[in-house]
Amino acid sequence: MNRISIVQHYVDKIIENIKSDTERKSAIIHTYGVAQCCALIAGRRGLNTELAYISGLLHDIYAFFTGSSLCHAQSGAEMARPAIRNMNIFSDEEKKCILSAIFYHSNKEVVHDEYDEVLKDADLLQRFLTDTVSLINERAVPRLNKLLNEFDIEAASIDYGQNQETAAEPFKKSLFADIAEKFAGQNICGERENKTFIEIIKYYPEASAFDELRNNWCAAFVYHCALKAGMELPIKQPPIEYRFAGAGAWYEWGKANGFISHDNGGFIPERGDIVIFNHIISPENKPKDSAWHDHIGIVLACEDEFLVTAEGNIDNQNVSGIVKRRRDHTIGCFLRIPDGYQYDGWKCDYKASRIYTL
* pLDDT of 117: 97
Q: Which residues, 6 or more positions from 109, have their beta carbon under 8 angstroms from its beta carbon? A: 139, 140, 142, 143
Query: How many CA atoms within 13 Å lie on the side-chain side of 358?
Result: 17
Q: How confident is the model at residue 358 (pLDDT cuts 50, 70, 90)?
A: very low
Q: Are 249 and 219 in contact (CB under 8 A)?
A: yes
What is the DSSP code string of 164-230? ----SPPP-HHHHHHHHHHHHTTT-B-STT-HHHHHHTTT--STTHHHHHTT--HHHHHHHHHHHTT
φ/ψ (deg, to 5) at 266: 90, 0
Range with the poorest average pLDDT among 7-16, 20-29, 60-69, 140-149? 140-149
Residue 253 has pLDDT above 90, yes or no: yes
Specify the DSSP class assigned to residue 356: G
Inform me whether the pLDDT recorded for 353 exceeds 80.
Answer: no
pLDDT: is 355 or 253 the higher one? 253
Write out pLDDT tens, residues 292-317: 888 999 999 998 899 999 999 998 89
DSSP 3-state of 298: strand
pLDDT digits (tens, 9 = 90+) for 167-182: 457 899 999 999 999 9
Better pLDDT: 316 or 235: 235
**Crossing angle for the helix pair 21-44 and 3-16, nearest 10 degrees?**
150
> DSSP states of 240-289 as a string?
-SS-TTSHHHHHHHHHHTT-EE-S-TT----TT-EEEEES-S-GGGS-TT
Binning pLDDT at 50, 70 and 90, where does residue 163 land? very low
Polymer length in residues for the chain: 358
pTM score, whole prediction: 0.91
d(CA 149, CA 23): 32
Q: How confident is the model at residue 11 (pLDDT cuts 50, 70, 90)?
A: very high
- Residue-wise pLDDT tens digits, 101-150: 999 999 999 999 999 999 999 999 998 888 755 567 777 888 888 998 89
| 304 torsion bin: left (phi>0), alpha (psi -120 to 50), beta (else) | left
Q: Taking 50 as the threshold, does the pLDDT of residue 221 lie above it?
A: yes
Rounded to whole angstroms, how far apart are CA atoms 331 and 125? 52
| Alpha-carbon span 14 to 207, nearest angstrom | 12
The SS3 assignment for 232 reads: coil
The whole-angstrom separation of Cα 57 and Cα 170 is 32
